[in-house]
Amino acid sequence: MCLTNDTRIRINITKPDGYDPAIFELYLRDLLAKGHHNKTSDLNAPGPQLPGYSPMPHNKSDYNMGDYVGMNHDYANASYEVRQKIFNQHKTYSLGLIYFMQNDPRMPKVTKSHMVGWGLKVTNLGLIYFMQNDPRMPKVTKSHMVGWGLPNDEFVDTDHWTPALYVREARRMIGTYIMTENNVVNKTRVTDGIATGSYSLDSHSTQNIVWKGMVKNEGCVSTAEGVHPYPISYQSMTPKHMEAHNVLVPVCLSASHIAYGSIRMEPVFMMLGEAAGAAAHLALDEDVMVHRDAK
């Protein structure tokens, strides 16, 4: 989320429609149990952690936090109407949490004061409102949240709110070759590489589970251990022989969930797209199936 604490351009966070502080109960309990957090994520925590911010030009900040865990599963296959509903749910959630942190009396004072006055430009409304306003938020957390609001010069055509969700991962092809974690950590190297990946293994939490009487975020992965530049197979862009012979898929290519968390970077997509374009030219020029290009 992109926020600002510049009073000249800040739009204060107000209680979003559909705001329900009960949604943030696990987050609050975790804060009360552990106190002030100095890091932006915790693999063992039941909710979003105390947000850290990255300075950006013009007195703004990129807040990489606020996942509405598990509520995005239906998005990829949903109709446009259902996608809009999911979008609205995420918007309400994010701003609601900030509002909660800024206003709830149970919030730690430091966190609340830091968040009041900041505003954002990406996903979820209720999350912000919650953190800024809910009386139960620990005071240290409240003081951290006070001061943040929406930048009035961002997304001016959509009420200063992003018109699109950040969809990192959705449907992918099951093709000739599937890239996996073993490829990313160089345990298995392909011989038909047409692009190079190098980003760490990275996935946000996918669901909340109960484990030994505690609520956990499941699916969060963030590690660069064992990851070095690795080749991406040409065949991960080609469909199975029996399904098609004139299609190349450079973005929604064949890759496992873990492998795609590394492959999904824009420079890699540029390399894959260039390779796909060259392969398509060869297939047309030589009148062969795209599968033959690897040879």
Give tens-digit pLDDT for 159-191.
888 888 888 899 999 999 999 999 999 999 999
What would the DSSP string read from start to end of the chain?
-EEE--TTTEEE--PPTT--GGGGHHHHHHHHHH----SS--TT-SSPPPPPEEEETTTEEEE-----TTTTTTTTT--HHHHHHHHHHHHHHHHHHHHHHHH-TBS-HHHHHHHBB-B-SSS-SHHHHHHHH-BTS-HHHHHHHSSBEEETTSSGGGTTS-SS-----------SS-B-HHHHTTSS--SSEEEEE-PPEEE---EEEEETTEEEEES-EEE-TT---EEEEGGGGSPPTTT-SS---SSS-SB-HHHHHHHT-HHHHHHHHHHHHHHHHHHHHHT--GGGGG-
Q: What is the pLDDT of residue 81?
A: 97
23 or 174: which leads in pLDDT: 174
Average pLDDT, the chain: 83
Give tens-digit pLDDT for 58-72.
888 877 667 888 899
Q: What is the pLDDT of residue 164?
A: 85
Give tens-digit pLDDT for 218-230.
998 888 888 899 9
Give tens-digit pLDDT for 194-239.
999 999 999 988 998 999 988 888 998 888 888 899 999 999 999 9
Q: Which two tokens stand for residue 90?
A: 């995420």
- For residue 21, pLDDT over 90 is answered with no
Q: How many CA atoms lie within 13 A of 134 on its CB side?
A: 31
- For residue 123, pLDDT over 50 is answered with no
What are the sequence ranges of the domains in the chain? 2-158, 181-294
Question: How far is 115 from 143, CA to CA, in rounded Å?
Answer: 6
